[in-house]
Amino acid sequence: MKEEINKKGVSILSLDVQKLIDMLNAALSEEWLAYYQYWIGAQLVEGPMRAEVEAELLQHATEELGHADLVAKRIIELNGTPVLNPLEWSKLARCKYEAPEDPYVETILAQNIRGERCAIQRYQEIAAYTDKADYVTHKLAVQILGDEVEHEKDLDDFVVDISLLKKALK
Ligand code: FE
Ligand code: FE
Ligand code: MG
């Protein structure tokens, strides 16, 4: 068992800390799955604008890993334990991993867009739950939410450009 001290930083929070830790562990699991979804998609992707899409997917993978780092550190600050076993990820995650069995760029983008929409919902909920009750987690959730909204836009832009390209070639 790890040593626990009564932290002022935890006792000031006016919310159910265990419920918040559970939400954060779900988010942490989703970040790791999103990391792999992006990373493996980047390895496999083929079709129009492959090089540009691959670079964006790799960048997003790195950013999801950064989110995992921030969320895990906050769970520890809250005296919680970040999910220890990768086998738990798919059980805790609400945003499901979708194996990229079809490497076509539009299919890969659609899978990642579903992931981003789910992540946006997740951080919207954490931001709402912590509003006024836990400023530190609230700020973190709002910051990550902003990144996820940007990710969704980046992917949507590729979908639009690929469809314009296909139209131009008709
Ligand atoms: Fe993320
Ligand atoms: Fe994202
Ligand atoms: Mg981007």
Q: What is the pTM of this model?
A: 0.96
Q: What is the pLDDT of residue 29?
A: 98
| pLDDT band at 145; cut points 50, 70, 90 | very high
Cα 45 to middle of ligand 2, angstroms = 18
90 CA from centroid of ligand 1 (Å): 16
- The whole-number pLDDT of residue 158 equals 98
Q: How far away, in angstroms, is 10 Cα from ligand 1 center?
A: 24
Averaged pLDDT, 35-55: 98
Average pLDDT over the chain, rounded to an integer: 97
Question: Does pLDDT of 21 surpass 70?
Answer: yes
Confidence of residue 90 (pLDDT cuts 50, 70, 90): very high
Which ligand ends up closest to the CA of 56? 3
Q: How far apart are CA 28 and CA 32, in angstroms?
A: 7
Q: How far is the CA of 154 from the centre of ligand 3 (A)?
A: 5
Confidence grade of residue 138 (pLDDT, cut at 50, 70, 90): very high
Grouping H, G, I as helix, E, B as strand and the rest as coil, residue 103 is coil
35 alpha carbon to ligand 1 midpoint, in Å?
8
pLDDT in tens, 114-133: 999 999 999 999 999 999 99
Please give the pLDDT value at position 45: 98
Q: How far is the CA of 27 from the centre of ligand 2 (A)?
A: 11
The predicted structure's pLDDT at residue 2: 65
Distance 119 CA to ligand 1 centre (A): 7
Position 1 scores a pLDDT of 60
* Secondary structure (3-state) at 149: helix
- Number of other residues whose CB lies within 10 A of the CB of residue 93: 23
Region of residue 4 (left: phi > 0; alpha: psi -120 to 50; beta: else): beta
Instruction: For residues 149-168, give the mean pLDDT.
Output: 97
Residue 133's region, left for phi above 0, alpha for psi from -120 to 50, else beta, is alpha
> What is the distance between the alpha carbons of residues 154 and 157, in angstroms, rounded to a whole number?
5
Whole-angstrom distance, CA of residue 92 vs CA of residue 88: 6
Q: How far is the CA of 151 from the centre of ligand 1 (A)?
A: 9
Share of the chain above pLDDT 90, in %: 95
If pLDDT is split at 50, 70 and 90, which confidence band does 6 have? confident
C-alpha dist (Å) from residue 43 to 48, 60, 104: 15, 13, 12
Q: Which residues contact 127 (CB under 8 A, 6 or more apart)?
A: 138, 141, 142, 145
